[in-house]
Amino acid sequence: VKSEGRNGWCFYHAEMDAVVQQRLEMEHELRTALSEQQFQLHFQPLLNLDSGEVVSFEALLRWHHPHRGMVSPGEFIPVAEDSGLIGPIGDWVLREACRQAAQWPTPWRIAVNISPLQFRDGSLPRLVKDALKASGLDPRRLELEITESVLLADEKHNLKILNTVRDMGVRIAMDDFGTGYSSLSYLRAFPFDKIKIDQSFVRDLPHDQNALSIIRAISDMAEALGVHITAEGVETEAQMEALKAMNCREAQGYLIGRPAAAIEAYAAVKVA
C-alpha cells in the first residue's frame, strides 16, 4: 500500500511537471508569435434583428502555431494573461482590428475583446487613442467588450479608464452577461452601451423554462435601463425566433455566420 501511495504521488508529480513544462513552452512560443506574425484576426458578424442587417463584427484572435496548427484563444489567452504578454498582444489586436475596419467597404462597427489585465497599468486610453489615430477609424465604430471581472478588480481605477475611453466616443459592451455573481449591480455602476447574453443561456432555448425566464428578465431590465441586448451563440432558427419574441435586438452565432478572415461576403447580406 505504501509503495502504491508513493507511486501515486510520483505520477501526480510527473503530470504536474508536464503541465508546467507545457505552459512554459507556450509562453516562450507566444513571445515570438507576434514578431513572427503568427496571429490573425477572424471576424464574426452581429445581426440587427429589427433591420435584418449585419451591423458589426467581433474580432476574435487566432494563433497559427508553426507545428501545432490553430491554437484556440481559450488555451493561450490565459497564458498570455499570466505572463504579461496580454499587453503587447492586446495592443496588436486593437491596432489590427481598427486598421482593418477602417478599410471595410461598409462602415460596420468593430468589437474588440479587452482583458481585465489590460486595465492594470492605466495605458488603455492612450493605446485606444493611438489605434484610432493610426487607422483613421471613427471612434463611434469601435466597441470594447469587457467582462464584469473588470469592475470586480480595482473598480474605481477601472471605471475611470472606462469613462475616459467612452468620452472619446468609443462604445463599451459587457460580455458574457449572467455568468458572474454580480452582473446586475454593474449595470448601475457604468452606463454600458450593450450587454451580451452569454451563450450558456441561449444554448438551452427555446424549451428550457429557466433559460427563457432569465433572458426575459434580462431583456425587461435592459429595456428599462435603455441598454441594448445581444444574444451570443445563436445556432438554430428556433433559438433566433425565441430571442426575437423576447425583444432581443441583436444576435451573433453560427446560424448567422462563423468567425472568418474574410468579411466581404457580408457586404450585400440582408436577412429577413
Q: Residue 178 touches which of ligand C2E, Ca ion, none (CB < 5 to 8 A by kind)?
A: none
253 binds ligand C2E (CB under 6 A): yes
Q: Residue 137 touches which of ligand C2E, Ca ion, none (CB < 5 to 8 A by kind)?
A: none
Cell 501545432 belongs to which residue?
68
- Minimum distance of Ca ion from residue 173's CB (angstroms): 8
175 binds Ca ion (CB under 5 A): yes
d(CA 244, CA 229): 11
100 binds ligand C2E (CB under 6 A): no
What is the Rg, in whole angstroms, of the alpha carbon atoms belonging to the chain? 20
- Minimum distance of Ca ion from residue 145's CB (angstroms): 4
Nearer to ligand C2E, 7 or 266 (CB): 266
44 binds ligand C2E (CB under 6 A): yes
29 binds Ca ion (CB under 5 A): no
235-242 long-range CB contacts below 8 Å, 24 or more apart? Answer: 235/203, 238/205, 238/206, 239/202, 239/205, 239/206, 240/49, 241/206, 242/205, 242/206, 242/212
Sole binder of ligand C2E in the list 30, 33, 54, 60 (CB under 6 A): 60
**Per-residue contact track with Ca ion, 202 to 241, x per CB under 5 A?**
------------------------------x---------
Longest dimension (CA), the chain: 70
Residues 39 and 61 sit within 8 Å (Cβ to Cβ): yes
To which H or E segment does residue 142 belong?
A: strand 142-146
Q: Which residues contact 195 (CB under 8 A, 6 or more apart)?
A: 173, 174, 177, 187, 218, 222, 227, 228, 229, 230
List of residues contacting ligand C2E (CB under 6 A): 44, 60-61, 72-74, 77, 90, 93, 113, 115, 175-176, 199, 232-235, 253-254, 259
